[in-house]
Amino acid sequence: MRNVTINGQNITLTTDQNIQVAIAVYSPTVVRVRMDKQPLAADFSYAVIAKPAQTKASITQTDTDITITTDSLTARVLKSPFAVAFFTKGGKVINQDEEGLTTSWIGEEVTTYKKMQEGERFIGLGEKTGGLDRRGSGYTNWNTDAFGYRSDQDPLYTTFPFYIGIHSGLNYGIFMDNSYQSDFNFGASNNRFSSFGAQGGEMDYYFIYHTQLTDIIRSYTDLTGRMDLPPLWSLGYQQNRYSYYPETEVYRIAQTLREKKIPADGITLDIHYMDAYKLFTWDKSRFGDPLAMNKKLKDMGFKTTVIVDPGIKVEDNYGAYERGKKDNIFLKYHDGRNYTGEVWPGWTHFPDFTSEQGREWWKKELKFFSDTGVDGFWNDMNEIATWGQKMPHNVLFDFDGHPTTNKEGHNVYGMQMARASYEGARQHSPNKRTFLLSRAGYSGSQRYTAIWTGDNRAEDNHMLLGIRLMNSLGVSGVAFSAMDIGGFTGNPSVELYSRWIQLGAFTPYFRNHTAVNTKSSEPWAYGEEVTEIARNFISLRYKLIPYIYSNFYEASQTGQPLMRTLAIDYTHDPNVYNREFDSQYQFGKAFLIMPFESGKQYGKVYFPKGKWYNLFTGEVEQGGQEKLIGIQYNKLPIYVKESSIIPIQSLVQHTGEKPTDTLTVHVYKGDVSNSFVYYEDDGESYDYENGGYYKRTIQYDPRRKAITFDQVEGNFTSNFNNIKVVLHGFIGTKKVKLNSKNQSLAKDFASFLEPISRFDPQGVANPLEGYEVQSLVVKNDKNRFTINF
């Protein structure tokens, strides 16, 4: 190391091999490290939107090292050989370069090698197959059209180069912000190191240290941004198909959902709505008046989402093509000719979404859909996908004034398409939330869009894999995610579809979808019994909308996912990484969901620390144990954590329908304190950005024997005039005090699913269980009140 300069929170230096290094304290818990073989480029990132915070950081230098000290960590930069290590304030190693390897180049490829700590585990990297713990595996980030992918295939559609390391009671995060093809190795084919590297560009990574995983996720999303609140309708059930056409078929699907009392909010149109697959067109023979159709659907309580692919057909007199040529917005080779690839409409050009000019063109074009009453955009094929799957590397990207090739532009293309769609939607409907979904993405995509896990298969292992993919996306900043319920390719068995749709009710975006040339996959397509089961769990989803929406509010504020791997709250419990249990997850902090393959009658589960209530019977299981449980065909195993607070509403058929005026808040007795932020707004506008919300913190304190509803924040008027507090596990409690005044509790009955009186695997009538609880109704004004039990 030589030429060291220390300036405030920043260190710059060169090595004796002329490597340029910059180390910056971003916050007390985040340190950034940049290295290159040439002078470091001007700072530019599609992922990182945060600026360094003013931090009390002490930087000292001796003959052997440089030490950075904040109130949270210590970083030491060894001078010879150059190496970086991070320690707790007490001196424990959190993470360190592997001596002798550190960071090095092979040609243009740059890799940083980290010493693998004793017992170290690794989670994250977004949409990656395999188990929860990635130790022993290696992964490549190169956004890929992975149709019908294997359950162990890599890479898939997205790039999230962020992971969390866990060892010795410690945890840290590393985000490598480099959009070239990248590779992560967590002890695959070696027993010495973990590593991360890229095929070009500089080494640029952010080291994050906190004692809790929730805070690591918060810091990572401080860097890369968080989701907006979604439109409320997007949290309801979505009926998709490749494809629903003509419009009479769309009406049939919508009408059948209503007739069968299966709640639903959305219908999605795949590529067959277009004229010869040409974007920004409607096939007039199939959809003669799309505006009238979408209005009729809205009157029935449905919103329409349409697929949008990036490829613009090369065809004279086709409007989008002619306007794109005129505005000169297509990706090009270095000789100036437009890149042409073949996809659904034939030979096509592709807008350069990494240029402001390309995004502005796309935003103008999207008005076509706004004018025809569309409420959601599904950004597909944006890896970029083309027939042959081999887009040439010599295609040029503007990269917002930092010209580059496909090698660097490829992985951010889908993210920038989603960005253009998001900005266009806000431009055309400034105070209306539009739903956005994308197949491809890069870190920071969560600011613009939900992500779904692509073209999966109708197989048990894909159902469980989808759970792990979404859990990993949640750790990686993407709180709004989905998988194709029932599987995209192939035909699920009756048992598999039944189990999958039960699980779907406990995923962030509840999307039923299947491919062309497969069996219809609507809930009624598998017989009357499955229709009943699907109706039950979709209805339960709609009752839980207040809980789900409140959790999305938390995601918008802190980045915490609704769908949570158990590693978030039970990070150092080795059982949560066991392959028998690593598909279990929490839905919010309250629910423990236990997925199983279809057809199983018994299965082993793991209850983490604490007490867990069976949602359907109220029976209590003690945590810290494995247990063999019976599995019912018509009922997903679901448990509720002690001290949980769960707001629910009456059943509605779509989110535009008003529930009754009573909000029911379920409180489960426990030995630990808990709080829940209940949140409401109008569900469709951005008025919440200016105070148009209703927010109330609800606290459960077993020591004070108190349930407290804090004073309401915000100026939105709640949809509910009354609050019914339902007490679970408070055996023998007949009276409480409401603001110090005695109140009698009413006997009540908890039953979360409607009885399925006609169906049972053995053909015997088997109503679903309910159990006795106590309740109290309180007027919902904005004042604080306390219930003492």
- Catalytically active residues are 380, 383, 455
DSSP single-letter state for residue 447? G
Q: Is 93 helix (H, G, I), strand (E, B) or coil?
A: strand
C-alpha dihedral (525, 531, 537, 542), degrees to nearest 10: 90
> What sign for the dihedral angle of Cα 535, 536, 537, 543?
positive
**CA distance between the termini of the chain:** 65
What is residue 614's predicted lDDT score, i.e. its pLDDT?
A: 97
Residue 616 CA to chain centroid, in angstroms? 27
Continuous segment of H or E residues that includes residue 75 = strand 74-79
Low-confidence ranges of the chain (pLDDT < 70): 755-768
pLDDT tens per residue across span 220-252: 999 999 999 999 999 999 999 999 999 999 999
Residue in this structure with the two tokens 């480099």, named with its chain if needed = 178
H-helix segments, 520-610? 528-543, 545-558
Alpha carbon distance 143, 132 (integer Å): 21
Residue in this structure with the two tokens 């509840």, named with its chain if needed = 510
DSSP single-letter state for residue 769? P
What is residue 92's predicted lDDT score, i.e. its pLDDT?
A: 98
CA distances from 548 to 499, 561, 646 (A): 21, 11, 9
Strand bridging mode 30-36 / 20-27:
antiparallel
Backbone angles phi, psi at 353, to 5 degrees: -75, -10
Alpha carbon distance 280, 318 (integer Å): 10
What is residue 109's predicted lDDT score, i.e. its pLDDT?
A: 98
Alpha carbon distance 350, 398 (integer Å): 13
Residue in this structure with the two tokens 């400034």, named with its chain if needed = 430
DSSP single-letter state for residue 212? S
Cβ atoms of residues 85 and 97 within 8 Å: yes
Strand bridging mode 481-482 / 450-452:
parallel
Burial of residue 743 (number of CB atoms within 10 Å: 0-12, 13-18, 19+): middle
What is residue 769's predicted lDDT score, i.e. its pLDDT?
A: 72
Which domains, and CATH codes, for the chain?
Answer: 2-224 (2.60.40.1760), 302-360+370-452 (3.20.20.80)
Q: What pTM value is reported for the model?
A: 0.97
pLDDT tens per residue across span 737-787: 999 999 999 999 999 987 654 455 444 444 457 899 999 999 999 999 999
- CB within 8 Å of 349: residues ≥ 6 apart: 311, 312, 314, 321, 324, 330, 331, 338, 339, 340
What is residue 768's predicted lDDT score, i.e. its pLDDT?
A: 58
Give the residue from 102, 56, 52 showing the smallest Cα distance to 77: 102
What is residue 494's predicted lDDT score, i.e. its pLDDT?
A: 96
Q: Is 478 helix (H, G, I), strand (E, B) or coil?
A: coil
What is residue 666's predicted lDDT score, i.e. its pLDDT?
A: 98
CA distances from 545 to 161, 662, 710 (A): 32, 14, 21
